[in-house]
Structure 1
Amino acid sequence: MAPGGAAGGGGGGLKPDGIVTWQSATSKTLEKAANEKKPILIYFPGEGKEYEYDGYFYGKDLKDLSDNKAVFVRVAYTSDRTPLPYAEQSPIPHKKLSGDNPSRDYNVTQYPTFVVADQNGNEFFRVAGKKPGAKDLEGFFAEIPKKVEDANTRLQRNLDKAKEFWGKKDSREALKLVLKNFKEELVGLDAQEQTARLYSELLEDGRAKIKEVGDKSKAENVKKLKAMQREWKGTELFYEIEELLKA
């Protein structure tokens, strides 16, 4: 499926002014949405040619939306939901749309599924098992800016508290708030970018503390490492400590 083109069963008998313009799920598509400051409609079709047929999601009002109001993306069907290996996992959210498996990362379990996202691919609305109408989509698109603003405000509130704790060298409480932000799985927002930078500082501090523990064969030091591991559950450092304890 080429960016900007229609894929699948063709448009025989359909008028061009009703055929939606679909993009591919790539980093270039995210760049396009960001440059044009447009929300994104992500379409996850079911298995079968009828879902890829241009007439399945067709109409002049829908095409007008895809040309002027939002970037429309169609993700090829896949049943693969293989999770990432632990070694590749990080609590820092990634851009799902340009990742290796958007169907897995958006947790698509029903077809068709339509996800309405901001320009970074952050999901704010979902329609599953049916097709949304043009009026519904237009309403969703209009709400996205406020949704993004509210989300960034929420993240900033947690970040400010995390910075206060870190200023007092309380890495445990700071980390809890940082991970709380990451669990929202939002990317590209200013407060989340700042949260990721704070996380890097905490991670560096944590690794320095591990080096200070000393002889890993002593029971007292093993106890210290296990306590740190509990604190860093769900992060890279958890698995790094796990490897140290196994050595």
Structure 2
Amino acid sequence: MNKTNQGDGVIIGIIDSGIGWGDNSEVFNEKGVGPIPSRWKGSCKEEDNFSATKYCNRKIIGARWYMKGMMEANDLNQTMAERLHKLSALDDNGHGTHVAYTAAGSYVNNVQYYDLNMGTTHGGAPLARLAIYKVAWNGINGEMISNIDVLAAIDDAIKDGVDVISISIGGGGGGAVNYADINEDTLFGIGSFHAVSYGRSFIASGGNSGPTSYTVGATSPWVISVASSCFNREIVTPLTLGNNKTIRASGLIKGKGHGFAPLVTLANVTKV
């Protein structure tokens, strides 16, 4: 990491559920970040419950939101949409903020987790800038996303001057066919090709399915789909079994021993 520029000068466009989950000002601090690149044409506006003063700086340089496609798909007018949602780039559920930090979170020292010192944490490119494009909204049955809104966000990200577009939404594969060409049935195939044709790198999540075959969600050959871990440390708890053998387990238990309990298998969980 010390031999790279750590993303300095790069603008990453995050297309997700917005930015600003709780008090996260420190994880997007602008320490060591230079001036906003002159090619940047986007904006970060004060809207509804989104505070540009609180969330926007030299790290988070842009924040937009998109809902027209979702409104049309769900037969919502402006008044109805305003009753259901806060129309701003503020993150409703934390996913977009999590993705943004994974990509380009700033250095944060002396991180504490349940009184344990976890040291220093940061994203993949801690000096890169972030431009936020909110397309995912909380609905009754989970997130609501319109392909039209996603494509509009991709188009604006290109015009705004981002270098990399990152999307961690959509299905996780699992079907018998994954399209590798520009196909009308695949959102990533259309949007990603448009971005790449303008010289923008396109990063998409592989999904949460697997490890069986045909479970990677983004398979277009010009899309970069990666798996990563953000931890270089472990939280280990000794677990003593009924036969008095002790094994290393991943987890955190505070206090003294909790006595014996039955083991839970995946089959037990899926039956609940």
TM class by shorter chain equals under 0.3
Structure number with larger C-alpha Rg:
1
Structure with greater strand share of residues: 2
The higher relative CO (CA closer than 8 Å, separation ≥ 6) is in 2
Task: Return the TM-score normalized by structure 2.
Answer: 0.23
